[in-house]
Amino acid sequence: MDKLMQGKAIIVTGAGSVGEGWGNGKAAAVLYAREGGRVLAVDRSIEAALQTQDIIRSEGGVCEVLAADVSRNTEVKAIAEAAMDHFGRVDVLHNNVGIADVGGPVETSEESWNRLVAVNQTSLFLTHKHVLPIMEKQRKGAIVNISSLAALRWIGFPYLGYTATKAAILAFTKNVAMQYAPMGIRANCVLPGMMDTPMIREPLKASYGGDIEQMRAKRNAQCPMGFMGDAWDVAHASLFLASDHARYITGLDMIVDGGLSLRCAG
């Protein structure tokens, strides 16, 4: 049986993990490789990217790495060039980079706001700017942008910069999906709900009294299925959207939240 990503060239941004365990980008990169994809693992931390590469190569997969700040135009241009140098094409662009700060309009500093916009939103603009021309020449490509359920609903405390930038990803993706559909390029979003990943634990633990296990227990209880999802739930949803099994799906917001969005916000 053929693997879903057999031979495909895939860029994954945010392909490392900010702490111990599996972040969304790390899991996605490994899963793409397990399904036969050739992965360019991009992360601001070369050490984090190399950890992902080590896992993929130890399993017999193909993975190249690049350290880059995806909020900087020249560095994103280098990502596209590196993918072409290594693989000669780009079949999938997976945008996973994202950061979070807690606070509303008054509590959030201008510096924090600008940083969130640059990392969560401008990075998306730049990766599309440099990768879409490659896909357009190929007349084929798939883009998966990782947003968040927080883009759609209140999550229990002020999370202004994060929610605003993640909401922008939804509109951005739909614009790309419509403009590039005639060129064989699809663009979709994955919206994770409450996830137990390293990126979530540190910025949010203060909002739960500083106790990680207490935070886990409370967040598990908030989920209709009784437990949070993890990076692999996001990775498997992304794999489907990136694969040819989703060849007639574009502009979709795929919610991966164990039913949380079906509850009234509170």
Range of the domain at 114: 9-256
**How far is the C-alpha of 132 from the C-alpha of 15, rounded, in Å?**
20
Q: Is position 185 within any domain?
A: yes
Q: Is position 262 within any domain?
A: no
What's the pLDDT score for residue 203?
63
Q: Is position 3 within any domain?
A: no
Q: Is position 261 within any domain?
A: no
Active site residue 162: yes
| Structural domain count of the chain | 1
| CA atoms within 13 A of residue 121's CA, in its CB half-sphere | 20
What's the pLDDT score for residue 205?
65
Q: Quote the pTM value.
A: 0.94
What's the pLDDT score for residue 211?
81
Residues with Cβ < 8 Å from 182, sequence gap 6 or more?
Answer: none
**How far is the C-alpha of 227 from the C-alpha of 36, rounded, in Å?**
31
Quote the tokens at residue 59.
């399993």
Write down the catalytic residue from 162, 180, 208, 248: 162
Q: Is position 75 within any domain?
A: yes
31 strand-pairing partners: none
- Show pLDDT as tens, one digit a residue, over the chain (266 residues): 789 999 999 999 999 987 778 999 999 999 999 999 999 999 999 999 999 999 999 999 999 999 999 999 999 999 999 999 999 999 999 999 999 898 999 999 999 999 999 999 999 999 999 999 999 999 999 999 999 999 999 887 888 999 999 999 999 999 999 999 999 999 999 999 999 988 777 666 666 777 888 888 988 999 999 999 999 999 999 999 999 999 999 999 999 999 999 986 55
Q: Is position 265 within any domain?
A: no
